[in-house]
Amino acid sequence: MSTLKQMPESERPREKLLRTGAGGLSNTELIALIVSNGTKDQSALEVSSGILSLEKDGIRGLVNCQPEEFMRVKGVGEALACRLCAALELGRRTAFCDSAEKTLMDRPSAAADIFMKDLRHLQKEKICLAMLNAKGEIVAKEEVASGGLSSACVSPREVFSNAVRKGAYAVVLAHNHPSGDPTPSAADITMTKRIVQAGELLGIKLEDHIIIGDGRYISLREIGII
């Protein structure tokens, strides 16, 4: 077994990051920096490889892992499992709040692009909201609800509370179907119609409701529900 200290200094993850930047590190090396210390029997890189092997989709699939799942890997205790969950959640939030600010949502495909990366691979339903100004630009985004393996519901209060405070002109709702099939359910349609009615009372338009599948989406405006 080769420990990090036995590796050439230039190839150790920390030194490599300082020299090349984080972008120059492999997924295993990045996780090794979070792992920090290996065990008596394994180096940090070997523990990192075990973590990556948890999910067939590699680093992408780890976003959905809970601490107890990480703790199944040899060398991962409770503290490290929590550090991994925190690091992955920060990455997810950063991706969700990236350069989409002020992006123009002038068509359903533009709205789908904003949410696809964040929602398409989740194993539980999550409902997100984009708030728009009068020009159709995003001024804020937020997660408004999350549910179980097959359903998530949201009330008009949850949808519009921050939109009212931020003076939004319109909103776009989006949620995922963990099955990968974006076909709207009866509950999706009922919820959408309820939110449209509430928005009319508040003077905030529901511009669209996008349902995200695995690389596919359906716009409820395009199919005539809104």
188/154 Cα distance (integer angstroms): 10
Q: Which fold has domain 108-219?
A: Cytidine Deaminase; domain 2 (3.40.140)
Is 75 within 8 Å of 39 (Cβ atoms)?
Answer: yes
pLDDT tens sequence across 69-88: 899 988 899 999 999 989 88
183/219 Cα distance (integer angstroms): 10
pLDDT tens sequence across 122-160: 888 889 899 998 888 888 888 888 776 555 678 888 889
What is the pTM (predicted TM-score) of this model?
Answer: 0.56
A 10 A CB-CB count for 26 gives 14
- Looking at per-residue confidence, does 90 or 96 come out higher? 90
Is 89 within 8 Å of 95 (Cβ atoms)?
Answer: no
Which tokens belong to 211?
């349902």
The full set of domain ranges for the chain reads 4-96, 108-219
pLDDT value of position 223: 94
pLDDT tens sequence across 114-130: 888 888 888 888 898 99
Q: Which fold has domain 4-96?
A: DNA polymerase; domain 1 (1.10.150)
